[in-house]
Amino acid sequence: MPLRLFARKRPIAIAAYHGFRNERHVELTTRILRRPPEPRAAPSKAAPSKAAKFLYLLRLYASHEVSGVRVRLRYGDLVAETVSDDEGFARFTLQLSAPRAMPLHTAWEHAMLDLPDLADAEPVEAAILAPGTDHRIAVISDIDDTVIETGAHRFTRNWRRLILQMPEDRKAVDGASDFYSRLGGVQPERSARRAFFYVSSSPWNLYGFLTRFMHLQGLPAGPMLLRDWSLNLRTLGGKSHGAHKRASITRILGFYPDLRFILIGDDTQGDAEAYADAVTNFPGRVEAVLIRTTSPSALTAGKRAAIGRIRDSGVAVWVGSAFDAGQKMLAKLHMDRDGDAAHVVAANADD
């Protein structure tokens, strides 16, 4: 029996994704879904079986979206409504009634979401990132093979990892947790002093999976701009990876014209090319670019050319196989961990 027939028996729920704001606007994406069941653990085991994990992850990909549902947002004195689309998404791009100053320190604010036409649907709280004015450099990072080991570009070798491992089972890239913590000044409650944004070609279905993984690894929380994997030629295929990242980076840099950014990625899925375009299209806005190499063969001539474009623009570049030298990298970039970067030198030698 198709999974969707089972899904119709499950309650409708709001999947609230982290939003972000500036002085005048708020952006928030939510999705209306039939709630997937949690994986069941065998009575004699503390963890779910492989079969249970596989079924749970399968249900994440085979999500049952609910369209045509009215969604209401409450943020301070602002109340807005929209309707979920064919993929279940309800997107809010709102103008504040009056300018709202940014906080001194990066903070998470909160909005409430509910479904006014469905009495049984529980309201949920959504977090909204407000970058602080004390740090004028923010971070945009890739996820797959930058902070989480996926090996997605080598599916035949890594298929077990991709379809059988839960967030608790997955491994962070060597040194990523320490480096990101130092770069962001993560506090004990794991709130970063520096604003972090994550741009990835992973589907929105994996949002909760990725959020839990980052929490477990102590990585800074931040809004994620993931990809809609609709079954059409526009969203399938390799070229859409780079297009999604370019559009997402453009969206963030345009939303925060007073911030500069460090861009962190790897040598898969078009990161170097997308970052080179950002350097070209937003002169003076990119402070540094860091590219992790996953294998010697992955750094193709096209990617090397993109890295060369970045260096020729005078932006600092680091290229290396792991983030396990976090302190060395910060020193190389002359980054003050307790404040903002007074100056990022042209660190153009590969590590």
Query: Cα-Cα-Cα-Cα dihedral of 313, 316, 320, 322, to 10°?
Result: -140
| Mean pLDDT taken over the chain | 79
Is residue 239 scored above 90 in pLDDT?
no
Domain range annotation of the chain: 3-130, 137-332
d(CA 51, CA 126): 32
Among 114, 113, 69, 112, residue whose Cα is nearest residue 87: 69
Is residue 317 within 8 A of residue 311, CB to CB? The reply is yes
Domain 3-130 classified CATH 2.60.120? no
Homologous superfamily, domain 137-332:
HAD superfamily/HAD-like (3.40.50.1000)
Per-residue pLDDT for 162 more than 50?
A: no
Instruction: Give the SS3 label for residue 96.
Output: coil
- Top mean pLDDT of 130-139, 140-149, 226-235, 240-249 is at 130-139
Cα gap 112→134, rounded to integer Å: 27
**Residue 331 in tokens:** 């020193």
Mean pLDDT calculated for residue range 190-219? 84
Task: Give the range among 68-82, 159-173, 249-263 with minimum mean pLDDT.
Answer: 159-173
The neighbouring-strand residues paired with 263 are 140, 289
Residue 237: Cβ-neighbour burial (10 angstroms; 0-12, 13-18, 19+): exposed
Establish how many alpha carbons lie within 13 A of residue 271's alpha carbon, considering only the half-sphere containing its beta carbon: 27
Given a cut of 60, whether residue 145 has pLDDT beyond it is yes
Element (H, E) at 312: helix 301-312
Residue 46: pLDDT band (50, 70, 90) is low
pTM of the model: 0.83
